Amino acid sequence: MNPDMVVVQGVEALKMVLWLSMPMLITALVVGVLISLFQAVTQIQEMTLTFVPKIIAVFLVLVLASSWMIEKMVTYTQHVFASIPMLIH
């Protein structure tokens, strides 16, 4: 295995991590911005107001996207296992 192959495998792994975390991160970002706007308009500065809705929204997205995420992870894992013979030569 040469360094180029290691870099390619590392890049693919990072892409998969970003791809799988994107729905939760975008949800947290959108909910955070909406709550910040709400706090700015109403001048309510309660700390739990920022965390609880984000946690609930991210959990809901995780539940809704879990089947898609598992499918992506299984496909990626099968691809990695199938490419092992090429990496060892």
How high is the mean pLDDT of the chain?
A: 92
Q: How many domains does the chain have?
A: 1
Query: Is pLDDT above 90 for 84?
Result: no
Phi, psi at 2, each rounded to 5° = -95, 170
pLDDT bracket for residue 49 (50, 70, 90)? confident
**pLDDT tens, position by position, 50-65:** 889 999 999 999 999 9
Contact 57/27 with Cβ under 8 angstroms?
yes
**What is the sign, positive or negative, of the torsion defined by CA atoms of 38, 40, 45, 51?**
positive
Domain range for 59 is 3-88
